[in-house]
Amino acid sequence: MKENIRVAIVQPKPYPEFHDPKNLGHALLMLEKCRGQSLDVICFPEYFPFQGEEELAQAARQLDAYIVAGLVEAESDRLYNTATLFDRKGRLLGRQRKRNVGVLERQGLGITPGDGEFRSFTTDFGKIGIPVCIDFWGQPEAGKQLADQGAEIVFNMSLFPVLRGHWKTGALVRAFDNFLPVVGVNTADYNAMIGGRRYHQHGGGSFMIQPPKMLDKTEFGRWFRSLDTVKDWIRLELDALEKVHFVDVNLSTVRRFRREFWNRFGFQRV
């Protein structure tokens, strides 16, 4: 099992209308920058590219990487804001529907809330969770469910007309609660059109958060006794511009020490 995985954070500047088919073309163009990078996971932001399951599945096969994409899923007469996960063979591995759907999504895009059951998905490098936006950083339930299922990393795709400044803080709290790495992916800064009105999307700030790498219990004990802040868990934060950024994420510390971390604080977990 890999101790480190290589991740691509795709922070695009979308076209103003979420459903514009040019967003799919733009996503595929940005994926070209991922060729030759030996990636494990490529993650897009919320609502991007909105559509294109077949094209993204093909890209996952070609790149030999897992892809997490922000798609709108239709079921009967309902639409869902869904994080969609493709495996290295281009197979649909799982979907995670957003539960906490804001008024702008409900009224402007017709989105229906998901069921609030958060699921971990098994990959060839470990278990991952893909909760959407405020489902993860705004309330504790998603992180708790995922960690209790054995998730070793969370990919948190997001999009922000408000509260981008709180996102990193909330995600850091959830990373501490559940002792796991978090990769947060936002769009670049841009103006969206929803229901004929312009909404500024506060872009950028995509990040990677993780506990420090520790090799044995002695090192863990020394680290724990000196623990005064977790601000140093924030290992990466991007600016507001469009980019594809590559980062290595360590999973070994979570596997070795999560139970010990919870035990020392008296956290009552399954």
Helix axes 252-265, 217-225, angle to 10 degrees: 50
Q: What is the pTM of this model?
A: 0.97
Arithmetic mean of pLDDT, 77-84 = 97
Q: What is the pLDDT of residues 7-62, one digit of tens each?
A: 999 999 999 999 999 999 999 999 999 999 999 999 999 999 999 999 999 999 99
* Distances 147 to 33, 135, 179, 181, 212 between C-alpha atoms, Å: 32, 14, 8, 11, 18
- Confidence (pLDDT) at 27: 98
Show the beta-strand stretches assigned E in the chain.
4-11, 41-43, 49-50, 66-75, 78-86, 92-97, 121-122, 127-129, 153-157, 182-185, 190-194, 197-201, 207-209, 234-237, 243-250
The confidence band for 260, taking pLDDT boundaries of 50, 70 and 90, is very high
Per-residue confidence (pLDDT) for residue 1, from 0 to 100: 81
pLDDT, residue 229, reads 95
Q: Are 109 and 18 in contact (CB under 8 A)?
A: yes
Q: What pLDDT score was predicted for residue 42? A: 99
Give pLDDT tens digits for 186-218: 999 999 999 889 999 999 999 999 999 998 999
Strands 41-43 vs 78-86: parallel, antiparallel or unpaired: unpaired
Mean pLDDT, residues 87-109:
96
| pLDDT for the residue 174 | 98
Digit-coded pLDDT (tens) for 147-187: 999 999 999 999 999 999 999 999 999 999 999 999 999 99
**Six-digit token pair at 136?**
């993860």
Q: Which fold has domain 4-265?
A: Nitrilase/N-carbamoyl-D-aminoacid amidohydrolase (3.60.110)
Q: How confident is the model at residue 244 (pLDDT cuts 50, 70, 90)?
A: very high
Mean confidence (pLDDT) of the chain: 97
Q: What is the pLDDT of residue 15?
A: 98
- pLDDT category of residue 262 using cuts at 50, 70 and 90: very high
Q: Is the peptide bond before 49 cis (omega within 30 degrees of 0)?
A: yes
Q: What's the pLDDT score for residue 62?
A: 98
Residue 270 has pLDDT above 80, yes or no: no
166, two tokens: 């709180």
pLDDT computed for residue 117 by the predictor: 97
For the chain, domain boundaries: 4-265
The dihedral formed by the CA atoms of 116, 118, 119 and 120, expressed in degrees to the nearest 10: 170
Instruction: Specify the pLDDT at position 43.
Output: 99
Rg (CA), the chain: 18
